[in-house]
Chain A
Amino acid sequence: MLNILVCVKQIPDVDLVKMDPETGNLIRTGVPTLTNPLDLNALEAAVQLKERYGGAITLITMGPPMAESTLRECLAVGGDEAVLITGRPFGGADTLSTSYTIVKAAERFGPFDLIFCGKESLDGATGQMASQLAERFDAAQISCCLSIEEVKDGRIRATRALESGRELVEAKLPCLVTVEKDNYYGRLPNLEAYLAAKKAPIVTCTENNIEGLDLQKIGVPGSGTIVPKIYPPELPEPGQMIRTGSVKTDVGRLLELLAEKGTL
């Protein structure tokens, strides 16, 4: 029986986020949200292990109250328990304070044999959370996991993707795993689970009910980094546009230009 934690995040659809040209702020209002796709691959890996070895999956996320919908989506696919960390004081957290917060909130559901994370989130995309969570859970880590071969006798064997090939590794439990999507496409929930997840209880953690929480280590005060400024990328001057009226003639002109440049 494995006790598994899966960390998930609700993100705005980054394709639809725009920057206010006047204020330089990001416009997130009305932008649809989704569950970070790579987190669903991590969840799938966890669900497959649960099916193989038995056990329970706890889902955890930090975010505004509406992040509940991401937990319900994941419950439908295979979570047993869901934890939402929410509250103003947690806002503005970087990975240093987020990893602290998640580990503190997850303590009462642990200890965990395995912790799963997406490789990175599509919005923040630092890719640091997994390592920092692993450190705070005092766990081994296997990143870029392609497939899990076996979990036995307090150890996990898995294949991971490196720059130049595939590496087979063996790690002690507890271990944190980040998953490549290739072999872990998320499944569709079945109807009973989908309907049950709509009504399932969600554990809400706030700054008031997480045991031993150091308020100096959460939210903005607990963050190591800040973002003092954002700005639109500076664009170079546009290149020469070829506009001759039709595709045929455009391509013809392009080939002429390339010939002049000696490129073709």
Chain B
Amino acid sequence: MAQYNTITPEVAAQLHAAVGEGRFFLREEVDPNYSHDEMPIYGKRLPEAAVDVETTEEVSAIMKICAANRIPVTCRGAGTGLVGGCVPLAGGLVLCTKRMNKILEYDMDNLVVRLQPGVLLKDLAADAQKHGLMYPPDPGEKTATVGGNISTNAGGMRAVKYGVTRDYVLALTVVLADGRVIELGKSVSKTSSGYSLLHLMIGSEGTLGIITEMTLKLIPNPVCDVSCLVPFRTVDDCIRFVPKIKLAKLDPQSIEFMDADIVTSSAAFTGNPIFPERVKNEDVGASVLVTFTGYDEEELDQKMIRLGEIAKEAGALDVLVVATSANKKSAWAARSSFLTAIEADTKLIDEMDVVVPVDKIPAFLIYIRALGDEVGIRIRNFGHAGDGNLHIYCCSNELEEDEFKRRVKIIMDRAYTKCAELEGQVSGEHSIGHAKMVYLRESVGEDVFDLMRQIKAVFDPDNILNPGKVCDSSVTM
């Protein structure tokens, strides 16, 4: 069991001095939001103190103080995580990077951007676009920080075509637990130089080091894009269609699944019913939104025609086209509101983001829906079904919290077992935090889990970086 010290007035003064006026907060000055992420159901805890850092040097100074005094440090960005990753389980200090929000420079010859970790995903996306470039990873939460995306190896809508965050990280500046500053990776497209600590750092959820600067790869902005909405009578028909799109080699940028419930909630929410609830006088059970990007319109038309053919074979009600800028805007707003819309009309919510092989998507979703009915929990799911990454939300408005948790546990246990059976993974992109640790352990097995712990001990022998997360069970809620 790790032993930590509390923040004494002397240590507080040192921390305060390390960042300067207005950016150090002690006890009741700490923003209550620093006690949780977007899943408060996994528990909240306020840290003893918080700092809003602005430079690598400040982070280094802070870590030196904390290492010397054995103060646990939990790094957070925008706090949009879904597994309790930034909850300071051991108290101590929360180190927030939201003020490190500068895009430092573009290298237009190599299509590379250097930036600070607190830049918001939406700001990077918009800024890159101004330079005629695109940052391909596109997680649904656009107000997350890019640093947070890297710490969780976030995926997103476009992963089907472009891959995930990891594929776009070229180099990182990292502050280690003892305050040393290291550089990992280089601005080059290939590397074969020893163990890749860079890739170890990506997705490590603030347990191995604190990322203070990043170099990311960009691509030229595709000149045209179009989406097709394919509505089906039933959820099953719709789910079975998803792998067929991939197998037809249409190379879509994204394939998003949405059931009728979520379409209705989001229409009420955004005030714009862009996705129809009825098509050809029939109720829509679920739809997929397939987005193609490319460099000429004719090519996209051909893909849509082919999609139309396979949709017809699969019994789709119709194929609708989202082509005008106004409709694209509305569709984007609707998609971005899905999770918020669920949260808005649900009292209790828990989630999982398993990933299964694409051809196993129908089997898994059909299983989980039946399981929800059996246990008495409303299952809602949406998201980028195209890569097999499924966001599944367990919802209830009627149950007491304890009963809800009990039932959700049954679902989770059986769902993760099913997931393993189908050769899947515990988390596609939301990562582990403390909420999913048991399932990680079951999924990877003792040998791998032990290796993870040993790696953690090498980087952070005193266990002061984000204790209680990923593979460290020494601290709990």
Contact = CB atoms under 8 A, between A and B. Distances in A.
A contacts B: CB pair < 8 Å: yes
Interface of A: 32, 34-35, 37, 40, 73, 76, 185-192, 194-195, 198, 245-246
Q: Is the interface of B mostly helix, strand, loop or mixed?
A: mixed
A191 B308 contact: yes
B74 to A, nearest CB: 22
Name the interface size band of chain B.
20 to 34
Given A34-B324, A35-B326, A187-B320, 4 more contacts: A187-B276, A191-B304, A191-B307, A191-B318
Nearest to A69: B324
B110 interface: no
Given A191-B228, A245-B22, A34 B322 contact: no
B327 A188 contact: yes
Given A185-B273, A191-B228, A191-B304, A35 B324 contact: yes
The 4 closest A-B CB pairs, nearest first, are A188-B320, A191-B319, A194-B321, A191-B308
B273 A194 contact: no
A190 B320 contact: yes
Nearest to A70: B324
Contacts of B325: 32, 34
B274 interface: yes
A187 B324 CA distance: 12
A146 B274 CA distance: 19
Interface of B: 22, 228-229, 272-274, 276, 301, 304-305, 307-308, 318-327
10 contacts: A37-B326, A73-B323, A76-B321, A188-B276, A188-B322, A191-B305, A191-B319, A194-B323, A195-B304, A198-B301
Contacts of B274: 185, 188
A188 B326 contact: no
A192 B274 CA distance: 19
Contacts, number: 49
Q: Taking chain A's interface residues, is the majority helix, strand, or loop, or is none over half, making it mixed?
A: mixed
A13 B293 CA distance: 23
A189 B326 contact: no
A104 to B, nearest CB: 29
A185 B272 contact: yes
Contacts of A188: 229, 274, 276, 320-322, 327
A190 B320 CA distance: 4
A194 B318 CA distance: 12
B337 to A, nearest CB: 16
Give the most central of A34, A187, A190, A198: most B CB within 10 Å.
A190
Contacts of A190: 318-321
Contacts of A194: 321, 323
Nearest to A32: B325
Contacts of B318: 190-191
B320 A191 contact: yes
A195 B301 contact: yes
A198 B323 CA distance: 12
Contacts of B308: 191-192
A246 B23 CA distance: 10
Nearest to A188: B320
A194 B272 CA distance: 21
B58 to A, nearest CB: 18
Contacts of B320: 187-191
Contact of B305 (A37, A187, A195): A195
Contacts of B321: 76, 188-191, 194
Contacts of B229: 188
A34 B326 contact: yes
A189 B301 CA distance: 14
A191 B318 CA distance: 8
A82 B319 CA distance: 24
A198 to B, nearest CB: 8
Contacts of A191: 228, 304-305, 307-308, 318-321
A8 to B, nearest CB: 13
Contacts of B22: 245-246
A74 to B, nearest CB: 10
Nearest to B281: A51
A105 to B, nearest CB: 25
